[in-house]
Structure 1
């Protein structure tokens, strides 16, 4: 199977791209240790893309599944750093937004064109904590359905247990003394 869905069951490719701050961001889901959502969107500042990024922003702060699984979200478009930064600032985004100006990430993730070639595709990858692509949602026009697809996927994951406290002191167990 070619295209983005051909990556299901495969290791998610690692890429290093400029972030909206201009710094290099290394995206390697295999080393994240938590579920990673990577979404490719056509262009910063457009109506549909604004709706999509805000749906992920809102889910991070209010969706219990995102919180419970400590989800990492990363957005990627072909926009230049200045445009991406203005978009991030205008929408109050707290997650990384990367600039794939050369199309390197789109190529590695097999993300092509959408709308019969009239637009960049809008594709979301759900990657498990081991770095394996488990689900792909591909729809240019259903911008808020991407977040809903992620929520549906997260609901299939085992509920994470409570985090162990590092170096927590262990109470010694006293042995009962025999009665004399």
Structure 2
């Protein structure tokens, strides 16, 4: 494990405000929408693994009913600049917020450190936050990028069954 984010499981998800890919402030306040949220922290926009990881979420939003934005929110966060995020979103046609955490505000709030033995600026960690704003679980795996969407998918089914 790369950080102390495990201590957040079972607790309210920290709030933050970061610029979206369009430069507009995006405010995340867990539990206010009444929908579960996947917070997807990833190291580098445009890199092969990160692109493939986020494409799995984009495609799930299109193909899987429980990923529909009326049922679940997906929010992606990396340390790249707003301009890099804008280009990334435009190139890949992402259908969810892709936030710039250049100052590390959200990474610190979620206690995420460097990834892949310290070689990447940010670890690849995905959090599942339930509709009440409680962090239910987190997945940290850098190389198995497809595991993140599968992890969220499993949790969405579990949360749906609990409702």
TM-score (norm 1): 0.84
Q: Distance in 1 between matches of 2:12 and 2:55?
A: 27
Shift of 1:125: 0.4
- Kept in 1, the 8 Å contact 2:127–2:139? The answer is yes
Q: Which moved more, 1:86-95 or 1:24-33?
A: 24-33
Q: Over aligned residue pairs, what C-alpha RMSD do you find?
A: 1.7
**CA offsets per residue over residues 86-115 of structure 1, 9 Å max, x none?**
000000011001100100100000111121
Shift of 1:64: 2.7
- Specify the SS of the correspondent of 2:159: coil
Matches within 5 A, 1:75-154: 75-119=76-120, 120-154=122-156
What is the total number of aligned residue pairs between the two structures? Answer: 160
Gaps of 5+ in 1: 162-180
- The aligned residue for residue 174 of structure 1 is none
- Specify the SS of the correspondent of 2:74: strand
**CA offsets per residue over residues 17-59 of structure 1, 9 Å max, x none?**
0100001110112212100110100010000000011000001
Gaps of 5+ in 2: none
Structure showing greater Rg: 1
- The aligned residue for residue 59 of structure 1 is 60
- Specify the SS of the correspondent of 1:143: coil
TM-score (norm 2): 0.93
**CA offsets per residue over residues 134-177 of structure 1, 9 Å max, x none?**
0101011111110000011111123598xxxxxxxxxxxxxxxx
